[in-house]
C-alpha cells in the first residue's frame, strides 16, 4: 500500500479522498434508511386500534415514539383530522414533499463521486504518460526502462484506483436508491391508509 501511494503521485490522494467521502456518505445513508424503514403494516394497525378507542393522544404518542417518515406522515394526518378528508390528504402530501428530499439527501454526492473517480484515474494516467514522454525526450535514444518505470506505475495505479473506487460507489448508490424507493412506496401506501383511518373515525377529539 505505501508503494502504491508513493508511485501513484498526487492524483492518488484525490482518489483516496473521494473514496473516503463515498464510504462515509454510504454508511450514513444506510443507517438513516435503516432508522426510516419500519413495519408500516404493524404500525398502522396499532394506530388504527388506538384511534378506534378515540384515544388520539396515545396515537400521537405512538407516532412520536416511532422513527421514520411514515410515522411523521401519520402524525400529520391525525393532527389535521378535524379539517376534512381533502385537507388531511393535502397535509399528508405536503409532509411527503418534505420527507422525500431528506431521504435522497447526499445521494447526488455519491453519484458524482462514482462519475468523477474514473476521470481522476484518467487524469493520473495522462500525467503518468506525460512524465514518460518527458523522460523519453530528455534521455533520447539512451532511455532505459527503469527511467520510465515511475511514469508507467503512476498511469496504471491511478487508472486502476479510479475504477476500483467507482465500481463499489456506483453499486452503493443503486442500493440506496432501491432502499429509498421502498420507503417511498411505504409512505404512499401508509398515506392512503391513514387518510381513510382518520376520516372513518370522524375526527374525534383527544381524550
- 192 within domain boundaries: yes
- 175 within domain boundaries: yes
- Distances from the Cα of 28 to the Cαs of 51, 77, 99, 110, 184, in angstroms? 35, 29, 17, 12, 18
Question: Pick from 132, 153, 127, 144: which is nearest to 8 by CA?
Answer: 153
- Burial (CB < 10 A; 0-12, 13-18, 19+), residue 40, is buried
- 72 within domain boundaries: yes
- 32 within domain boundaries: yes
- 151 within domain boundaries: yes
Beta strands in the chain (DSSP E): none
pTM for the model stands at 0.81
- 205 within domain boundaries: no
Residue 4 pLDDT = 63
- 127 with 11: CB under 8 angstroms? yes
Each residue's pLDDT tens digit in the chain (207 positions)? 566 666 667 888 899 999 999 999 999 999 999 998 888 889 999 998 898 888 889 999 999 999 999 999 999 999 888 888 888 899 999 999 999 999 999 999 999 999 999 999 999 888 888 877 777 777 666 666 666 677 787 788 889 999 999 999 999 999 999 999 999 999 999 998 888 888 875 544 443
Residue 5 pLDDT = 61
Please count the structural domains in the chain: 1
Distance from C-alpha of 174 to C-alpha of 30, rounded to nearest angstrom: 12
Three cell numbers at 88?
388531511
Distance from C-alpha of 19 to C-alpha of 199, rounded to nearest angstrom: 50
Residue 141 pLDDT = 63
Residue 207 pLDDT = 35
- 207 within domain boundaries: no
Three cell numbers at 145?
526502462
- Burial (CB < 10 A; 0-12, 13-18, 19+), residue 206, is exposed
- 206 within domain boundaries: no
Domain span including residue 161: 2-200
Amino acid at each position: 500500500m505505501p508503494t502504491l501511494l508513493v508511485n501513484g503521485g498526487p492524483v492518488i490522494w484525490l482518489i483516496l479522498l473521494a473514496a473516503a467521502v463515498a464510504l462515509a456518505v454510504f454508511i450514513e445513508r444506510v443507517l438513516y434508511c435503516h432508522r426510516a424503514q419500519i413495519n408500516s403494516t404493524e404500525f398502522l394497525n396499532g394506530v388504527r386500534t388506538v384511534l378506534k378507542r378515540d384515544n388520539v393522544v396515545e396515537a400521537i404518542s405512538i407516532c412520536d415514539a416511532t422513527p421514520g417518515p411514515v410515522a411523521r406522515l401519520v402524525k400529520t394526518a391525525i393532527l389535521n383530522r378535524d379539517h376534512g378528508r381533502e385537507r388531511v390528504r393535502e397535509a399528508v402530501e405536503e409532509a411527503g414533499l418534505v420527507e422525500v428530499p431528506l431521504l435522497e439527501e447526499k445521494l447526488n454526492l455519491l453519484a458524482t463521486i462514482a462519475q468523477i473517480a474514473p476521470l481522476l484515474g484518467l487524469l493520473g494516467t495522462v500525467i503518468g504518460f506525460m512524465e514518460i514522454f518527458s523522460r523519453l525526450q530528455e534521455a533520447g535514444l539512451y532511455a532505459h526502462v527503469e527511467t520510465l518505470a515511475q511514469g508507467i506505475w503512476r498511469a496504471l495505479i491511478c487508472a486502476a484506483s479510479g475504477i476500483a473506487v467507482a465500481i463499489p460507489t456506483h453499486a452503493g448508490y443503486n442500493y440506496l436508491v432501491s432502499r429509498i424507493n421502498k420507503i417511498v412506496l411505504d409512505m404512499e401506501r401508509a398515506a392512503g391508509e391513514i387518510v381513510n383511518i382518520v376520516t372513518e373515525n370522524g375526527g374525534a377529539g383527544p381524550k
